[in-house]
Amino acid sequence: MTTLAAMIDDFGFLDDWEDRMRYVIELGKALPDLPDSEKTAENKVQGCASQVWLSVSAGDGADPVMTFRGDSDAFIVRGLVAIVLEAYSGKKASEVVAFDALDLFKQIGLLEHLTAQRANGLRSMIQRIREEAARRMV
């Protein structure tokens, strides 16, 4: 997987909207598949037009390190999932709660070009991740 810093740099070189979308699709193709056993109703993100699943695990302690894995049945959304997972996974719960990935999507020039349905799904995914982290903070 590409690091978040590398993704941000790569988007900085892409001026054309179609090139950005191709890159999002490439990121989605590189995302490891979520096992079918984790594609459950419990892991399904509500509010997404396409199917999106999010699997969450957390370490121990009052501010555990969070690990997120996800998948989607749509190419572009799968790429958006890859970006979100890279932004949040491996961070402490307090960092996850404090970081709003929507700002990241604005920074890399994607948010304003997403359809209303995709933008709403993205918001739902980010909200779910931040809620999961908040629940694990003691």
Return per-residue pLDDT of the chain as tens, 138 residues: 679 999 999 999 998 889 999 999 999 999 999 999 999 999 999 988 899 999 999 999 999 999 999 999 999 999 999 999 999 999 999 999 999 999 999 999 899 889 899 999 999 999 999 999 999 997
- What is the predicted pLDDT for the residue at 1? 60
Q: Which residues are catalytic?
A: 48
- Spell out the residues 6+ positions from residue 95 whose beta carbon is closer than 8 angstroms to its own: none
Predicted pLDDT of residue 48: 82
> The pTM is what?
0.94
Does domain 4-136 fall under CATH 3.30.70.100? My reply is no
Q: Which of 25, 96, 38 is nearest to 64 (CA)?
A: 96
Break the chain into its structural domains and give their ranges: 4-136
